[in-house]
Homo-oligomer: A and B are copies of this chain.
């Protein structure tokens, strides 16, 4: 029963994970065989769909992407013979952009194996540290030994990532120079909405400038907000949600066993509440706040507090003085009144003296003043003191779960005084964020990413550019998954910034009419009052549950149960 470690000698050393030791589970995952969709295992041809448009303002998108706009989707379909020249030796670059998401290493393994299998003699470059690596031409040549120890492993540490963007004309020029210097046939950008927008701009730029370098994107983000009809999910969402749900499930059993705590769990996801919704569907908490619902119903912070307090009181009548509450990281960004208050504070703090006696507060509008006074002192202080380099209030630093605990506590005290509550409320706060970004990818993320990378290889090989790798039919067995690419321009809309139209891939928010939210809505009252906790347990790589897909994906694919 002694734990054993495997030291990956030469290959690990060559790759930077030198002399690193792996846990038994990490080791066992390295050689985990990944199934490929059938279409990738046999001869295929690439078939174009119909002309595409844009997610919004197609005329503006057409102007911004004269070469790319309107491109059809591409799909790999079985064929008697292979249509791509396997003697072609390609030079391809790959880059990881933005925050970590489990599975990134498998996208790289996927495109690497594609080149080995179908374009032997090709070269794969890994740009180091994100888009900065492209601009500075910092790269490493990826070979089998280098990649081996990262197969099915979490993290982005094979080549690391970064948050830089290629934006200015000088930066585009640097990227062009790198593409020319390395004689790149293709570039795969693995990233979220911003990074894929950037990939599309690069694809257009290279085409306009007459470079041969094709550019493709790959949908990455644990937040789950980069998706469309043809891109059913972003990778990493599955693993991150399962890690968070393991923790939530454990906390639930603890809450029920102890019977005296309300656990407030803040979950990553600043823009959209997909993670919170998925974790709710996996674990059945008593209360779940979904940012998009708060925004749609124009709820105030007081409304949200009252909603929580009402349920706590009802539960206390039933003899339950405990519970679990999920809150998305970005909650307060969804509350209009908070946005107004912050804007006013930014204005006041920039121009006025904040006096101790609080005379400055007179400059707040009535609504904002009321909200400010409603906030717990610690949060008031945080709003006044924490600033970003531009002097703005840092909403991101507010620990929403702690703020809610304090507001709920205050409100329950009032209810106690009018005889509507007579328990002792004890809140415990949790934030699950970094713990989920670099976990070992689930079987789903491992397989999905491998197909995304392998498919991207095929499309770059075929000369496609400006597409995002898309693998579909994910509810079916892997063999039946579809593989192709979707025009990045078809996901785009424009935003007006500084008087100019900027292309953006619109974040996919939680749809209040969509399957996952509808399911949640139909059950939330039941979960609130009764205890329907589910503890998903730790992610398993073999045996029961090891191949499950996320509830969000399943429900979006049309399942009703």
A residues with a Cβ closer than 8 A to B are 1-3, 5, 19-29, 100, 129, 153-157, 160-161, 243, 246-247, 249-254, 256-259, 261, 263, 282, 284, 428, 430, 434-440, 444, 474-475, 477, 530-545, 547-549, 551, 554, 559
Pairwise interchain contact B161-A258, C-beta atoms closer than 8 A: yes
Kindly state the separation between the CA atoms of A223 and B256 in the bound complex, as whole angstroms: 21
Pairwise interchain contact B155-A25, C-beta atoms closer than 8 A: no
Residue of B nearest to A533 (CB): B20
Kindly state the separation between the CA atoms of A259 and B24 in the bound complex, as whole angstroms: 25
Kindly state the separation between the CA atoms of A537 and B437 in the bound complex, as whole angstroms: 13
A2: contacting residue among B155, B247, B261, B548, CB under 8 A: B548
Pairwise interchain contact A477-B1, C-beta atoms closer than 8 A: yes
Nearest 5 CB-CB pairings of A with B: A24-B545, A25-B537, A155-B253, A538-B538, A28-B544
A251: contacting residue among B250, B435, B540, B551, CB under 8 A: B435
Pairwise interchain contact B257-A438, C-beta atoms closer than 8 A: yes
The answer to whether A535 and B26 touch (CB under 8 A), given A3-B548, A541-B540, A541-B543, is: yes
Kindly state the separation between the CA atoms of A3 and B545 in the bound complex, as whole angstroms: 7
| B contact residues around A21 at 8 Å (CB) | 284, 532, 534
| B contact residues around A129 at 8 Å (CB) | 259
Kindly state the separation between the CA atoms of A477 and B434 in the bound complex, as whole angstroms: 37
Residue of B nearest to A548 (CB): B3
CB distance from A221 to the nearest CB of B (A): 15
Residue of B nearest to A543 (CB): B542
Pairwise interchain contact B23-A536, C-beta atoms closer than 8 A: yes
Kindly state the separation between the CA atoms of A544 and B554 in the bound complex, as whole angstroms: 30
Pairwise interchain contact A157-B23, C-beta atoms closer than 8 A: no
Pairwise interchain contact B551-A100, C-beta atoms closer than 8 A: no
Kindly state the separation between the CA atoms of A28 and B546 in the bound complex, as whole angstroms: 11
CB distance from A162 to the nearest CB of B (A): 9
Pairwise interchain contact A251-B438, C-beta atoms closer than 8 A: yes
| B contact residues around A438 at 8 Å (CB) | 250-254, 257, 535
Residue of B nearest to A549 (CB): B1
Residue of B nearest to A554 (CB): B2
| B contact residues around A284 at 8 Å (CB) | 21
Kindly state the separation between the CA atoms of A494 and B544 in the bound complex, as whole angstroms: 50
Kindly state the separation between the CA atoms of A243 and B536 in the bound complex, as whole angstroms: 14
Kindly state the separation between the CA atoms of A533 and B18 in the bound complex, as whole angstroms: 11
CB distance from A445 to the nearest CB of B (A): 13
CB distance from A311 to the nearest CB of B (A): 19
A and B contact pairs by CB, cutoff 8 A, 8 listed = A1-B548, A25-B537, A254-B437, A257-B438, A428-B434, A438-B535, A439-B537, A440-B538
CB distance from A233 to the nearest CB of B (A): 13
Pairwise interchain contact A254-B23, C-beta atoms closer than 8 A: no
A434: contacting residue among B20, B156, B263, CB under 8 A: B263
Kindly state the separation between the CA atoms of A533 and B100 in the bound complex, as whole angstroms: 17
A156: contacting residue among B24, B257, B436, B539, CB under 8 A: B257
Kindly state the separation between the CA atoms of A435 and B255 in the bound complex, as whole angstroms: 10
Kindly state the separation between the CA atoms of A26 and B544 in the bound complex, as whole angstroms: 9
Residue of B nearest to A259 (CB): B160
CB distance from A28 to the nearest CB of B (A): 4
CB distance from A492 to the nearest CB of B (A): 28
Pairwise interchain contact A538-B535, C-beta atoms closer than 8 A: no
| B contact residues around A540 at 8 Å (CB) | 25, 538, 540-542
The answer to whether A536 and B254 touch (CB under 8 A), given A2-B475, A259-B160, A554-B3, is: no
Kindly state the separation between the CA atoms of A284 and B388 in the bound complex, as whole angstroms: 34
Residue of B nearest to A281 (CB): B3
| B contact residues around A249 at 8 Å (CB) | 23
